[in-house]
Chain A
Amino acid sequence: MTFQGVTIGQYFPGNSLLHRIDPRVKITGVLLLSVAIFLPRAWPGYLASILFTLILVALSRVPLRLILRGLRPILIFLVITAAFNLFLTPGEPLFRLGPLTATRDGLVMVGVTTTRLLLLVIIASLLTLTTSPIRLTDGLERMLRPLRPIGVPAHELALMMTIALRFIPTLAEEADRIMRAQQARGASFSSGSLMARVRSLVPVLVPLFVAAFRRADELATAMEARGYRGGDGRTRMYELVFAPRDGVALAVLVGFVVLVAVLRLTGLG
């Protein structure tokens, strides 16, 4: 049992069009598309959504295998949702399973919700797959900046995210080291009853927390020693530049949402 190879965020390094687009546009895009996916009422709308998502996947140059792996955690959720929809939607009976009746309308609902959820997760994971954590937090910080007058600490939030992401591998390594040390003292993490296993984690968690606080202290001291005093007046090594292609990307995204909205309003999709 080790924590080696833990990654959070699942950035897939690359240089595709999707990778190069400004993170602010991508974040906005995910928000826009999340709305767009729930607009369609008939097949032309769904077809458009599926096609658009597939084009994005192709543009990202991320191996399909990685995207599918990202879907695994929601599989159980999808199955349960599908079961509820299939059996609990009233309508024309299709077949019976014990006391439960599947309906034709239920089957349609299954198709609709499964498609929507899958598209939503694919689009969201495209964001994290094609955007490095640093660019993601940079983008968030810039987008939250206008909210500062009403008390949103944009810079602090972004910094917290950056630090949290930065320290996950470090803490995982630390946990691995501590587990080995305790194993050398005869600890076992993989045998005994559930209670025994939970208790066996105490000798790992206590030093891990102590280490986390120590690291936090050291980091704070190191930052202060280098004159850190919040985001005011800070310049950046990499400025986010809104390039022409970002404008085009934003226009395409808005265009797609409008298309789907028009399809729905006209009753076509």
Chain B
Amino acid sequence: MPIVFEGVSHIYQPGTPFEWKALEDVTLTIPDGEFWGLIGPTGSGKSTLIQHMNGLLRPTSGRVLVDGMDLADRSTDLRKVRQRVGLVFQYPEHQLFGETVFEDVAFGPRNMRLDAAEVERRVLSALERVGLPADIKDRSPFGLSGGQARRVALAGVLAMEPRVLILDEPTAGLDPQGRAEILDLVGTFPALGMTVILVSHSMDDVAERADRVLVMHRGRVHMVGTPRELFARRAELEAIGLGVPAAVDLADKLRARGWDLPPDIVTLDQAVEAIKAALQARGKGADRR
């Protein structure tokens, strides 16, 4: 179910002194089963954009089509759209409310009017998928650690078994290990046929995993491309206050000092391999000081 934006603009509080053009003429297509990174500085329209994908916001002008359904159309069942397009907000653990983890995760499936057996199956499988032990289901969500609570919140959306999963800064406020765990987990979803859209302001978060990166700036689509294509235009990224991942930065600096490195270095592992190969080519350790 591709997500298509056709000339979408969104204006908050039009006609007041607080008028704010959050999106301007956004046209793009997100095909099935891809992992997209959505990047942009604060206020670039990322959150506004993703809320258009499940009908929480309606475009001021233009059209949003999910699976061919026009979200602005009154006859479109938004509940159905929201079951297919799961949206995990920032700090999703702040939205937990159930007496038990089970009750909370079951909220989405129950809103879908599934029978009790199916709800239970989905809750348990969602908890398993986010890597939580099954016996956590009877605990209060308010007694969990930050990382556990975030996984429960994520399970709450996964339990609706959406085909598109949008995550707004899912690693915000987590320690490095928690970040890596969440990102690795999210990285497994496209293989299951799920489209994943990961919102972040950190290039490092998306560079390693995303098939394609969408860069937003001042409400407009600034660039779209594979991570490699984007990092080749480093100056443009830096002009809007975005950097490149540490590995790309290192490779660029080494190239500037005359190292012969391949052009496709995006991840840390690739950088390590390339540097090793370059060192070997020069004669082991000859350049070390």
Contacts and interface: CB of A to CB of B under 8 A. Distances in A.
A186 B89 contact: no
B94 A185 contact: no
Nearest to A186: B111
A185 B156 contact: yes
A146 interface: no
A187 B87 CA distance: 13
B280 to A, nearest CB: 51
Contacts of B92: 181
Given A177-B89, A182-B95, A187 B111 contact: yes
A203 B107 contact: yes
A185 B159 CA distance: 10
A185 B97 contact: no
Nearest to B97: A206
A179 to B, nearest CB: 10
Give the interface size bracket for B toward A.
20 to 34
Contacts of A5: 13
A203 B56 CA distance: 17
A186 B79 contact: yes
B13 A181 contact: no
A180 B89 contact: yes
Contact of A180 (B13, B51, B96): B51
B94 A178 contact: yes
A211 interface: yes
Interface of B: 13, 51, 54, 56, 79, 82-83, 86-87, 89, 92, 94-97, 107-108, 111-112, 142, 156-157, 160
Nearest to B57: A180
Contacts of B89: 177, 180-181, 184
Interface residues of A, number: 20
Q: Among A180, A185, A187, A211, which residue has the most Cβ atoms of chain B within 10 A?
A: A185
Interface string A199-219: 000111011001100000000
A178 B94 CA distance: 8
Contacts of B54: 184
A153 B89 CA distance: 42
Contacts of A186: 79, 82-83, 107-108, 111-112, 160
Contacts of B96: 207
25 contacts: A5-B13, A178-B94, A178-B95, A180-B51, A180-B89, A181-B89, A181-B92, A181-B95, A184-B54, A184-B86, A184-B87, A184-B89, A184-B157, A185-B108, A185-B156, A186-B82, A186-B83, A186-B111, A187-B107, A203-B97, A203-B107, A206-B97, A207-B94, A210-B142, A211-B94
A183 B56 contact: yes
Given A184-B56, A185-B157, A202 B97 contact: yes
Contacts of B82: 183-186
A185 B111 contact: yes
A5 B92 CA distance: 24
Nearest to B83: A186
Given A183-B56, A184-B82, A187-B107, 14 more contacts: A5-B13, A178-B95, A181-B92, A181-B95, A182-B107, A184-B157, A185-B108, A185-B156, A185-B160, A186-B82, A186-B112, A188-B111, A207-B95, A207-B97
A202 to B, nearest CB: 7
Contacts of A185: 82, 107-108, 111, 156-157, 160
Q: Which 8 residue pairs of A and B lie closest in terms of their CB atoms, listed nearest first?
A: A186-B111, A206-B97, A185-B108, A184-B87, A181-B95, A203-B97, A181-B89, A207-B97
A186 B79 CA distance: 6
A78 B253 CA distance: 76
A158 to B, nearest CB: 29
Interface in A167-182: 177-178, 180-182
Contacts of B111: 185-188
B149 to A, nearest CB: 11
Contacts of B86: 184
